[in-house]
């Protein structure tokens, strides 16, 4: 049996209607999230990575998340590195809405679709997800593919700069970054520069405490404990602050 002659699959208005219905569904049953495009700052061609990625923009957009719970995926676990959250999520985003709101961002590597490596901030759960895989609908209805499905995992934070202007997103960097430069530097009185030590490193303010920033670490506790029991007359091999 051939396809129905009463429906013209390449007829644009019908295709458009179908897409509008999808968008309406997402607006009705979805949730507002922030889409953060990744800005590559220093791409390493050898290792295929970027160690200084920044996220300077945040676009609020509606998405539908497929999981019954945002905490789907593997259970949170304790590893030899401490607590590791393993939440996963699947979001659906309208192709048209992506084109309208996000595709013009200069930092997108591919402007025609959401990019793997970009972030999605889910405000109601205060979770920051990284897009690990983007797929389009496998069924091409009316010559139109109206949504992308984004497979996401909770972001592994590695001191990426988050300067989006959205306070709750930027707070993640403020509370989790262990970067000392700018945040804990001793600045000159006129703000024109920093104070440097003889070894070339920046002088840091006393309040820099890795144990306070990273609740799972015991760097400074170990230093305090070892002072009384380790005879480091030769010096700590890796120096001191």
Return residues touching other proteins (CB under 8 A). Answer: 41-42, 44, 47, 49, 51-52, 76, 78-88, 116, 126-128, 132-133, 151, 153-159, 172, 176-181, 201-202, 210, 214-220, 222-223, 225-226, 228-233, 236-241
Task: Report in angstroms the alpha-carbon separations of 132 from 10, 66, 120, 122, 154.
Answer: 33, 15, 11, 16, 10
CA–CA distance, 221 with 225 (Å, rounded to integer): 6
The CA distance from 18 to 9, in Å, is 11
CB 82 → other proteins: shortest distance, Å? 6
The DSSP code for 201 is P
Distance CA 7, CA 9 (A): 6
Residue among 55, 67, 78 nearest 31 (CA): 67
Instruction: Tell the smallest beta-carbon distance from residue 189 to other proteins (Å).
Output: 22
Q: How far apart are CA 12 and CA 14, in angstroms?
A: 5
Nearer Cβ to other proteins (11/201)? 201
Select 15 or 202, whichever has its Cβ closest to other proteins. Answer: 202
| CA dist., res. 36 & res. 126, Å (int) | 14
Closest to 136 measured CA to CA, from 98, 72, 92, 70? 92
Closer by beta carbon to other proteins, 18 or else 71: 71
- The distance of closest approach from Cβ of residue 223 to other proteins in the complex, given in angstroms and rounded to an integer, is 6
Minimum distance between the CB of residue 181 and other proteins, rounded to whole angstroms? Answer: 5
Sign (positive or negative) of CA dihedral 202, 182, 131, 46: negative
Pick the closer one to other proteins by CB: 105 or 220: 220
CB of 86 to other proteins, least distance (A): 7
Q: In terms of CB distance, is 14 or 163 closer to other proteins?
A: 163
Can you tell me whether residue 146 is helix, strand or coil? coil
CB of 145 to other proteins, least distance (A): 19
Q: Which is nearer to other proteins, 59 or 117 (CB)?
A: 117
């Amino acid at each position: 049996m051939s396809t129905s002659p009463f429906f013209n699959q390449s007829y644009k208005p019908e295709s458009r209607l179908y897409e509008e219905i999808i968008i309406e569904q997402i607006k009705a049953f979805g949730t507002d999230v922030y889409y953060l495009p990744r800005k590559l700052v220093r791409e390493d061609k050898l290792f295929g990575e970027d160690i200084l990625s920044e996220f300077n923009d945040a676009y609020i957009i509606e998405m539908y998340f497929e999981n019954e719970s945002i905490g789907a995926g593997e259970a949170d676990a304790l590893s030899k590195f401490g607590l590791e959250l393993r939440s996963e999520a699947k979001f659906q985003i309208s192709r048209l809405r992506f084109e309208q709101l996000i595709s013009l961002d200069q930092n997108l590597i591919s402007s025609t679709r959401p990019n793997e490596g970009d972030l999605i901030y889910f405000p109601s759960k205060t979770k920051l997800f990284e897009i690990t895989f983007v797929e389009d609908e496998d069924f091409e209805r009316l010559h139109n593919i109206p949504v992308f499905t984004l497979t996401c995992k909770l972001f592994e934070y590695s001191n990426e700069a988050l300067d989006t202007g959205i306070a709750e997103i930027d707070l993640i960097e403020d509370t989790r970054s262990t970067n000392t430069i700018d945040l804990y530097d001793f600045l000159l009185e006129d703000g024109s520069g920093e104070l440097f030590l003889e070894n070339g490193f920046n002088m840091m303010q006393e309040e820099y405490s890795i144990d306070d920033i990273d609740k799972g670490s015991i760097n400074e506790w170990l230093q305090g404990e070892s002072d009384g029991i380790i005879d480091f007359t030769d010096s700590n091999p890796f120096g001191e602050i």
